[in-house]
Amino acid sequence: MRAVVQRVTRASVDVAGERIAEIGPGLLVLVCAMQGDGEEDARRLAGKIARLRIFRDEAGRMNRSVLDTGGAALVVSQFTLAADTSRGNRPGFSTAAPPGEGERLYRLFAEALAGEGVPVQTGRFGADMAVSLVNDGPVTIPMGF
């Protein structure tokens, strides 16, 4: 699985002009299941993100996780993380998991992250979403690439 993790002061998702999810301080996690990914990949990535130390401690160093800070996570499916730009100017997405499997693993990932103790909100799989965020830092970490 691939993910892009952004430390945020707030983030939200709107679908068709309606706000469907919103968090305050925490993480915006864009996630994509790849062909060959399984349940263990989703669980392992969720555990790693829950413990990723990218929040400031008392000394101002990135030494605390979202669990340590009591923050939340907004998890949004993003199949374009599977983009292959090695040939031509139009990205290919053939390495992404098929939609049914991608959705199953996306949901499993969000459940696993919540199971780690992180409050989780989600986007809507396959929907045309408007994602808003205030990136804190900015801190953006690609994972699983």
Type of residue numbered 111 = E
Q: How far apart are CA 92 and CA 62, in angstroms?
A: 35
| Whole-number Cα distances in Å, 84 to 79, 92, 96 | 11, 5, 10
Query: Which pair of tokens denotes residue 114?
Result: 């919540």
Sign of the dihedral defined by the CA atoms of residues 135, 119, 2, 77, in that order:
negative
Closest among 37, 17, 23 to 102, alpha carbons compared? 37
Catalytic residues, which ones?
A: 78-80
Alpha carbon 49 to its chain's center: 9
Alpha-carbon distance of 6 to 20, in angstroms, equals 19
